[in-house]
């Protein structure tokens, strides 16, 4: 008896859910969403030319940047290596970026005195601040 009452209640919920009006919020959300993407007229999202200036993939800040020339940590790591090669005779090593800290390693081919290391260290730190000011740079100079 309990199973029959339970089955009737479940079926009544299913029937009540299937009989809902089709023109409620679902279609209005889709229409508003396509307008936000930037389609005009009756052409759909996939039918129009997506290389045009109207095709902007960066409308929502919660989604990843889909453009091909987006900046990322690799660009900043290359900048650190570029600063080392242009402003000293050191070879760039690994660069680790964690939040606003950048741990940069540079290698010298010969032995450097402590004074030379200090001069290179301060010179490179000033250049890092000029080129990539958003990081706190922790520079380590090692000998190979």
Name the domain boundary from 25, 48, 66: 66
Higher per-residue pLDDT: 51 or 66? 66
Query: Tens digits of per-residue pLDDT, 70-94?
Result: 667 778 899 999 999 999 899 999 9
Instruction: For residues 46 and 105, state if they share a domain.
Output: no
Name the domain boundary from 33, 66, 99: 66
Query: Tens digits of per-residue pLDDT, 26-40?
Result: 444 555 555 544 445
Locate tokens 């010298």: which residue?
Answer: 108
89: CATH? 3.30.70.1350
Name the domain boundary from 17, 39, 66: 66
Write out the residue range of the structural domain in which residue 57 sits: 1-66
Residues with Cβ < 8 Å from 53, sequence gap 6 or more? none
d(CA 144, CA 19): 76
Instruction: For residues 62 and 110, state if they share a domain.
Output: no
Least confident piece of the model among 9-18, 44-53, 63-72, 108-117: 44-53
The number of distinct structural domains making up the chain is 2
């Amino acid at each position: 008896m309990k199973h029959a009452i339970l089955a009737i209640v479940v079926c009544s919920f299913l029937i009540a859910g299937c009989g809902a009006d089709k023109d409620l919020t679902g279609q209005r959300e889709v229409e508003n969403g396509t307008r936000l993407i930037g389609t005009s007229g009756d052409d759909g999202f996939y039918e129009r030319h997506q290389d045009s200036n109207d095709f902007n993939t960066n409308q929502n800040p919660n989604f990843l940047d889909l453009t091909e020339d987006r900046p990322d940590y690799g660009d900043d790591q290359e900048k650190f290596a570029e600063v080392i090669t242009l402003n000293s005779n050191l070879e760039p090593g690994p660069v680790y970026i964690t939040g606003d800290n950048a741990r940069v390693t540079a290698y010298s081919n010969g032995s450097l005195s402590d004074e030379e290391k200090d001069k290179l260290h301060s010179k490179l730190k000033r250049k890092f601040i000029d080129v990539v000011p958003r990081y706190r740079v922790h520079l380590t100079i090692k000998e190979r």
